[in-house]
């Protein structure tokens, strides 16, 4: 009788936990997965200037499988003062520990090794993309051998490609197609440029024969002034930003990597403003395996842009059906002014740079001579798209403002994903105030312990006296 009563109690307990487990599965979206995006404790930040006073003002980040390299452009706004301080973080070490961070000033090895416009990794080497070197646009490509010591001079190489082609300078971004690295032209010092430089990674870095050049304006005059590029496995898309100082560009340039680099038939063009007048002024983007997303930065000389443009790579490039648009600023007024985007396997994150101008505004958004320390409008609001939902559905979009955590967490220039964490690259918090605050976001979803706890209790009851 006593044994039966004990069994009845155990059956009752098992039934309760089974019910809880069933309820947990039914309500999985509520109980088992907490959306980290809205959880402040999933964000952390490090101010690199606490470790190195010159570690601020970066233009991109590169991940080599273990280390993240932050690419320097400008750390102060004194006249003609660009930076060569590369910062490196060891992702196997604690994010906030000074011992996890290393710094190397390239100007110790070469006085013109500074002012870069992002970087690119080819599986072994990290390439720093030349943009601006004090008084002039730069063509000095810097390469780091990732299997060697970070602070060893022998790990770094320098090659000025403007000696091969005087118009080959002033790039913003690079892309690797598995063999070749393409340096994305922005402004060569005279005009917004279409002069793409390509390096064959199977050939010696210093050999002139390893480098080739193609000016896309020779076949289409609007193919110029790019910021970053995207590779989809076959095609490279050069992301349009500007035609000139006040005119923003919406014409995407596409190169078919299966065809000769300098063949006009390898290149195609599509002006997205034909479908939507606001589809222009982009700064980078991302590929999610099917769609390419273009990150909107500028609308015109006075306004920033929130119109995300998406291209379906399974459809013809010039088909209107392949292109779609969604203005995130229509559902959140601060959702605009992005630089690049990051894909984590499910979500696309648009990296916030600037959403408006706070008077008095700077002389010229393109100017490198900054005379106004009061203009603001820099943004810390990340915009996120859920790729499992409809692109034009407002429920697919969500927003998180990093300035809720700390007021200076804003003004980022792109970022990088290491497989779990997203890192945002610090650029500046005011028009003349550079930043060294790296933000890290943990994309790993929390799993409530209810299933394992319930199964553990049930197992315990079953294994005792049954």
Same domain assignment for residues 189 and 227? yes
pLDDT of residue 82: 95
Same domain assignment for residues 460 and 369? no
Same domain assignment for residues 310 and 418? yes
3-state secondary structure of 110: coil
Same domain assignment for residues 251 and 332? yes
Separation between Cα atoms, residue 71 and residue 85, nearest integer Å: 8
pLDDT of residue 6: 53
Report whether 408 contacts 438 (CB < 8 A): no
Report whether 62 contacts 71 (CB < 8 A): yes
pLDDT of residue 261: 98
Q: Which two tokens stand for residue 357?
A: 């101008």
Same domain assignment for residues 443 and 454? no
Same domain assignment for residues 286 and 373? yes
Same domain assignment for residues 405 and 453? no
Structural domains in the chain (count): 2
Same domain assignment for residues 176 and 211? yes
Q: Average pLDDT for consecutive 10-residue bins of the chain (466 residues)?
A: 50 46 43 80 98 98 98 85 96 98 98 97 98 92 98 98 98 98 97 98 98 98 98 98 95 98 98 98 98 98 96 98 98 98 98 85 47 72 98 98 98 98 97 94 70 37 37
Report whether 386 contacts 32 (CB < 8 A): no
Instruction: List the beta strands (DSSP E) in 48-176.
Output: 58-63, 67-72, 85-90, 101-105, 116-121, 125-130, 132-133, 136-137, 140-145, 156-160, 171-176
Report whether 280 contacts 249 (CB < 8 A): yes
Q: What residues make up the domain containing 464?
A: 1-32+449-466
pLDDT of residue 4: 54
Same domain assignment for residues 303 and 438? yes
Angle, vertex CA 103, rays to CA 367 and CA 404, nearest 5: 65
Same domain assignment for residues 324 and 457? no
Same domain assignment for residues 5 and 38? no
pLDDT of residue 125: 98
Same domain assignment for residues 425 and 461? no
Of the candidates 157, 155, 158, 150, the one whose C-alpha atom is nearest the C-alpha of residue 133 is 158
Separation between Cα atoms, residue 325 and residue 321, nearest integer Å: 11
pLDDT of residue 466: 31
What CATH number did the domain enclosing 286 receive?
Answer: 2.120.10.80
pTM of the model: 0.88
Note the residue count of the chain: 466
Element (H, E) at 252: strand 251-256
pLDDT of residue 376: 79
Report whether 70 contacts 53 (CB < 8 A): no
Report whether 77 contacts 432 (CB < 8 A): yes
Helix/strand/coil percent split, the chain, to 5: 20, 40, 40
């Amino acid at each position: 009788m006593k044994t039966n009563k004990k069994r009845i109690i155990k059956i009752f307990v098992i039934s309760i936990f089974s019910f809880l487990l069933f309820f947990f599965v039914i309500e999985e979206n509520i109980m088992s997965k907490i959306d980290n995006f809205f959880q402040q404790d999933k964000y952390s930040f490090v101010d690199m200037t606490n470790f190195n006073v010159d570690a601020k003002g970066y233009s991109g980040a590169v991940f080599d499988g273990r280390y993240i390299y932050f690419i320097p452009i400008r750390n102060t706004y004194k006249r003609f003062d660009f930076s060569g301080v590369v910062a490196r973080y060891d992702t196997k070490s604690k994010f906030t520990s000074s011992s996890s961070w290393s710094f190397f000033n390239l100007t110790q090895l070469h006085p013109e090794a500074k002012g870069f416009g992002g970087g690119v990794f080819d599986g072994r080497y990290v390439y720093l993309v030349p943009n601006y070197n004090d008084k002039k646009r730069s063509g000095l490509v810097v390469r780091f051998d990732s299997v060697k010591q970070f602070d060893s001079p022998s790990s770094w190489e320098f090659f000025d490609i403007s000696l091969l082609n005087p118009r080959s300078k002033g790039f913003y971004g690079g892309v690797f197609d598995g063999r070749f690295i393409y340096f994305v032209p922005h402004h060569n010092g005279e005009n917004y440029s279409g002069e793409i430089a390509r390096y064959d990674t199977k050939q010696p870095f210093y050999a002139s024969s390893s480098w080739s050049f193609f000016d896309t304006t020779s076949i289409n005059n609007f193919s110029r002034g790019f910021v970053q590029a995207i590779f989809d496995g076959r095609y490279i898309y050069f992301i349009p930003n500007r035609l000139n100082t006040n005119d923003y560009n919406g014409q995407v340039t596409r190169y078919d990597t299966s065809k000769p680099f300098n063949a006009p038939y390898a290149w195609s063009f599509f002006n997205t403003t034909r479908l939507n007048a606001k589809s222009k002024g982009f700064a980078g983007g991302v590929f999610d395996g099917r769609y390419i997303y273009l990150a909107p930065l500028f609308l015109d000389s006075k306004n920033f842009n929130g119109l995300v443009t998406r291209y379906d790579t399974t459809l013809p490039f010039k088909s209107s059906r392949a292109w779609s648009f969604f203005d995130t600023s229509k559902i959140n007024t601060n959702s605009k002014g992005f630089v690049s985007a990051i894909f984590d396997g499910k979500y696309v994150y648009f990296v916030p740079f600037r959403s408006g101008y706070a008077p008095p505004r700077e002389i010229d958004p393109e100017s490198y001579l900054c005379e106004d320390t009061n203009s603001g409008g820099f943004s810390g609001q990340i915009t996120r798209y859920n790729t499992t939902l409809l692109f034009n559905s407002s429920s697919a979009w969500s927003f998180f403002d990093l300035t809720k955590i700390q007021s200076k967490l804003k003004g980022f220039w792109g970022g990088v994903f290491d497989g779990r964490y997203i890192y945002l690259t610090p650029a500046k918090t005011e028009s003349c105030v550079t930043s060294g605050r790296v933000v890290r976001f943990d994309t790993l979803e929390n799993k409530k312990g209810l299933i394992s706890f319930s199964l553990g209790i049930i197992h315990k009851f079953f294994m005792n006296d049954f």
